[in-house]
Amino acid sequence: MSIRIASHLIFWLLYVTLLSTLFLIRLDIYDTAIVVTGLVCLHAGLFYSNYHWIVPSYYLDRKVRQYWVIVLGLVVVVILCNRFLFQTYLGFDQSNFRPPILQNSPDTSFPGRAFGVIRFVPLTLPAIIIVLLSLVLRISTHLRTQDQEKEQLRSAQNDAELKLLRSQINPHFLFNSLNNVYSLAVNGAKETPDMILKLSAMLRYVIYESNVDRVALSKEVDYLQSFVDLQRLKDHELQRINTRFRPASFQIAPMLLIPFVENAFKHSESLPSEDIKVDIDMNCSDDGKFDFTVVNSVNTTKPSANGMGGIGIENVKRRLALLYPDRHSLEFKEHLSEYRVQLQIQLT
């Protein structure tokens, strides 16, 4: 049983209990059962007609004037049925019904006069309360449903955007890697078979293992290490390539770090091989604080044609904003002949 159905049942049970306690003072059990049943049916009909039909069709559709005309008409019908139930069927004038605390109070006393002035309240007040209660509940339900639909739409849009961003990564990686294999093959390098094997393992990760929301941090590290090894196979003169990977047993979004490593080698490509320096440092603490730093040398006299951005970096910035909102920081710094990228993510 849903919470909504349970709450409705509890409300009407309490309502029946209140009416039964009130009318048993003046009526026997049989007549009380008839009165309470009649009132509950009238008020429940008014409540659910307003809740399911009138409010959605008129009030929420901005037909406020028509709404109040229909509601007032229904309230009048309920009041007339109410009087028929009491006066015609039971011969009991509900408008003169007085609560127990006023049974012995003279009409001249303040409570007596007050009750006399509002002696028709028992006919109208419950119907008005029912109308207002159903109106408020229906509006609140409508607003809550709108919020849920907006959240679902936002989530669907984010998922679609993430899939698009991820699909943009794969061709970008493939083109770069094939260019590396091509360079080795043209030069007849003996390392070409090893490079093809590494490329095959990397493609397997990209195509089959990274199509999930999160992967083990160790798998992402293996992918980064394979990429660095490919760069070494491509150019044996790369001596100052340092990697320090200390992953923990956490998970991270796949293919999130590779654009920074790719960018580091792009920034250095205009330098002589012996002057290229790439330093990659990764650490993850026990509380899930992930630190990733990439430092690479740049040619200050001849800036890289790729610049400091590119589709890969813009892609990863957007993914970070979607996947780790308010849980990450990303900084780019260039000082003299070094370019530094520092990324921090709270993975938990």
Indicate whether 240 and 323 sit together in one domain.
yes
pLDDT of 282: 93
Residue 196 sits in a domain of what CATH number? 3.30.565.10
Indicate whether 138 and 194 sit together in one domain.
no
Virtual CA dihedral for 89, 94, 96, 98, nearest 10 degrees?
130
Last residue of a domain, one of 149, 175, 202: 149
pTM: 0.56
**CA dist., res. 279 & res. 264, Å (int):** 9
**158 in a structural domain:** no
Q: Which residues of the chain have pLDDT under 70?
A: 1, 26, 86-123, 153, 156-158, 160-174, 176, 235-239, 270, 273-274, 300-311
Contact of 225 with 243, CB cutoff 8 Å: yes
Q: What is the DSSP string of 127-153?
A: HHHHHHHHHHHHHHHHHHHHHHHHHHH
- Domain range enclosing 224: 189-346
Indicate whether 242 and 311 sit together in one domain.
yes
Pairing type for strands 277-284 and 240-246 reads: parallel
Pairing type for strands 251-252 and 240-246 reads: unpaired
**258 in a structural domain:** yes
Domain count along the chain = 2
Q: What is the DSSP string of 181-231?
A: HHHHHHTT-TTHHHHHHHHHHHHHIIIIISSSS-EEHHHHHHHHHHHHHHH
Indicate whether 137 and 196 sit together in one domain.
no
Pairing type for strands 289-297 and 277-284 reads: antiparallel
**325 in a structural domain:** yes
Indicate whether 134 and 86 sit together in one domain.
yes
Indicate whether 94 and 211 sit together in one domain.
no
Look at residues 298, 342, 294 and name the one whose alpha carbon lies nearest to residue 320.
342
pLDDT of 161: 65
The predicted-structure confidence for 118-132, as pLDDT tens digits, reads as follows 444 556 788 888 899
Contact of 118 with 98, CB cutoff 8 Å: no
